Amino acid sequence: MRECAKAGLVRGENIVMDSTHIKANADNRNQEWAEVIKTPKAFWDDLGVAELPAESSVKSKNPCDPDAGYMSRNGKPKGFHYLDHQCSDADTGLILDVFVTGGDAQDHECCVERLTYLKDGMGLPVKAAGLDSGYDTIGVHFGLTRIGVTAYIAPAKRGIRTEGERLGIEAFSWHPEEDCYVCPNHKKLTYRATWICAGIPTRNYGASMEDCKACPYREKCFTEKTKSKRIVRKPCQEFREEGWERTGTGTYKRMLRRRSVVCEGNFGLQKRCHNLRFTRKRGMENVSEQCLLSATALNLKRLVKGLRLLDAPGEMRVTSASHPGFLTLFRRKSRSVRFLRSAAA
């Protein structure tokens, strides 16, 4: 990556991040249940709004490779896997950071940490980040805002109802100056009480039973067992709502389009050509080494392509990586460089 930076191929302003699963060298039938201590989320401690004790949970482990995690996600293969989290340059597609976790980890858990490393540890001028809906959490929105990075995150589908079913929270507007929600029938949901849920203080808002009794949206708003609508609001929810306001903007669409092209394209190339589909190694350190070598091979290809563009003959030559037409030529397939050389000859 340093050689790519010397050649001027690393912009570092727009970052896209995603993860892919790697099949571990472990038998799915050989499982043992182990107690794991789960530490509280760091951003709650930074806010000082909650004191979260460490919690213990039981997870499935493989005795041959204890670092591998049992992955069970919708649309993904079940079994022991590793997750390869990669941060890439949205402009050039170069892989800037590789971080490996067990397959049972969530994508958003290491997001803020890795982007902070890119900005502070590597000195990159990170300004914006494009992420998919798996990163749409309060912790990611708050953490990226704190380090000065604008997050463009696809809204998560969790809790969003389809048309014809009950209304989701997206149908209710938040009014911070009045400390209340307003429903589609223009009725207020006022503050009721503060509940401690898993150590986190949550504010609860509710509508009056008189308003809900005569509301035309009653059947779509809540179930028959409930007499009025209730909404739970967590601390720092405003950071997530601020991120939702960017949905649909031109920059939002460009960032998510580049995320899809860069991240999915890099993972596809690495799985097909650079030994990232599965691993024969065991242990977090050994699997991290394999992922780093795979990313290095792909970056070397991009480096050679960039240097060939800078060394193209005649009028086809791009003077520097900051040239306006460099990214257009760099994002094309490799045969475009050979075509430029043959045309100039």
Are residues 142 and 261 located together in one domain of the fold?
A: yes
**CA pair distance 227, 191, nearest whole angstrom:** 17
**CA pair distance 301, 308, nearest whole angstrom:** 11
Instruction: Report how many domains make up the chain.
Output: 3
Question: With a threshold of 0.85, does the pTM exceed it?
Answer: no
| pLDDT computed for residue 322 by the predictor | 53
- Report pLDDT digits (tens) over 191-213: 999 887 766 788 899 999 888 88
- Asked whether residue 91 is assigned to any structural domain, the reply reads yes
Are residues 252 and 227 located together in one domain of the fold?
A: no
Are residues 112 and 37 located together in one domain of the fold?
A: yes
| pLDDT computed for residue 52 by the predictor | 57
Are residues 135 and 179 located together in one domain of the fold?
A: no
Contact predicate 86/17, CB 8 Å: yes
Are residues 115 and 211 located together in one domain of the fold?
A: no
| pLDDT computed for residue 55 by the predictor | 66
Domain that holds residue 182: 169-235
Are residues 219 and 84 located together in one domain of the fold?
A: no
Residue spans of the chain under pLDDT 50: 160-163, 314-316, 319, 334-345
Contact predicate 7/306, CB 8 Å: yes
- The DSSP annotation for 249-307 comes to SHHHHHHHHHHHHHHHHHHHHHHHHSS-SB-S--SHHHHHHHHHHHHHHHHHHHHHHHH
Are residues 46 and 140 located together in one domain of the fold?
A: yes
**CA pair distance 276, 293, nearest whole angstrom:** 10
Where is the domain boundary, 205, 235, 265?
235
Are residues 111 and 42 located together in one domain of the fold?
A: yes
Are residues 10 and 138 located together in one domain of the fold?
A: yes
Q: Which residues contact 315 (CB under 8 A, 6 or more apart)?
A: 344
Are residues 97 and 178 located together in one domain of the fold?
A: no
